[in-house]
């Protein structure tokens, strides 16, 4: 079994790397409750307010638009959803390129923050770093959404879920994103990304 894991970890196959990333992400997000009969230990840390550090690079009037209220399970409109997807993927891209997941960690849901650290996130996505993945190509493209956005159950919580792809070259970038409500904002709770990496 150990030899099989070693072979998978050292694989040069993008498909195996993607599958491995999926299992690792699932392990962190889903497996964190293995020893807890009550589910996630969210705590009651009401003193820490999350702030949106992402800026809209497309124009100034996005601040004047009303955002969907996550506490009311409102689904974002098309423009807001596209902005959320791009901001998530561009935050992820900055973390990969800088090899520093501090800012990415600051922007995920409080629940996920309690389950992982920036260092663990870096280890989790090391294949993207080593392969010099360029998720930033999505900046000027529109997402092709295949599922959602819709509210579905995720670990016992109402989750805003969206799947789709960007027509990046030479390989498309696919995403599966899950957000949960932190106050009135939707915050990232799980991410799966498949894109081209250098070998």
Asked, for residue 35, whether it belongs to a domain, the answer is: no
pLDDT of residue 66: 86
For residue 132, what is the domain's CATH number?
Answer: 3.10.450
Task: Quick: pLDDT tens for 96-130.
Answer: 999 999 999 999 999 999 999 999 999 999 999 99
Decide: 127 and 24 in contact? Cβ < 8 Å.
no
Q: Which residue has the higher pLDDT, 107 or 35?
A: 107
* Spatial distance between the Cα atoms of 94 and 171, rounded to a whole number of angstroms: 19
Q: Pull the structure tokens for residue 113.
A: 């923050």
Asked, for residue 44, whether it belongs to a domain, the answer is: no
Q: Which residues pair with 175 in a beta bridge?
A: 164, 193
Asked, for residue 37, whether it belongs to a domain, the answer is: no
pLDDT of residue 197: 77
Percent of the chain residues past pLDDT 70, beyond the cut: 67
pLDDT of residue 8: 45
Of 2-6, 140-144, 185-189, the range with the lowest mean pLDDT is 2-6
Flag whether the pTM goes above 0.85: no
> In this structure, is the dihedral angle defined by the CA atoms of residues 44, 48, 49 and 50, taken in order, positive or negative?
negative
* Spatial distance between the Cα atoms of 75 and 186, rounded to a whole number of angstroms: 9
Q: Which DSSP letter does residue 131 get?
A: T
Q: Which domain holds residue 173?
A: 2-30+70-194
What are the distances in angstroms from CA 175 to CA 5, 12, 49, 104, 135?
A: 25, 21, 27, 16, 11
Q: How many domains does the chain have?
A: 1
Task: Quick: pLDDT tens for 158-198.
Answer: 999 999 999 998 899 999 999 999 999 999 999 999 998 77
């Amino acid at each position: 079994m150990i030899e099989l894991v070693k072979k998978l970890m050292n694989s040069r196959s993008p498909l195996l790397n993607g599958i491995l990333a999926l299992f690792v992400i699932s392990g962190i997000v889903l497996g964190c409750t293995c020893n807890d009969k009550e589910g996630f230990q969210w705590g009651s840390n009401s003193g820490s307010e999350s702030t949106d550090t992402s800026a809209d690079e497309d124009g100034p009037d996005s601040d004047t638009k009303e955002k969907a209220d996550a506490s009311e399970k409102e689904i974002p409109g098309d423009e807001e959803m596209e902005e959320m997807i791009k901001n998530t993927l561009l935050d992820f891209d900055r973390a990969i390129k800088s090899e520093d997941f501090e800012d990415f960690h600051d922007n995920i849901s409080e629940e996920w923050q309690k389950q992982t650290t920036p260092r663990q996130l870096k280890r989790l996505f090391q294949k993207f770093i080593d392969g010099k993945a360029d998720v930033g190509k999505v900046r000027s493209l529109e997402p092709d959404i295949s599922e959602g956005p819709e509210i579905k159950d995720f670990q016992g919580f109402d989750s805003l879920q969206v799947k789709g792809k960007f027509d990046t070259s030479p390989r498309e970038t696919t995403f599966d994103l899950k957000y949960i409500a932190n106050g009135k904002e939707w915050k990232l709770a799980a991410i799966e990304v498949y894109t081209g990496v250098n070998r």
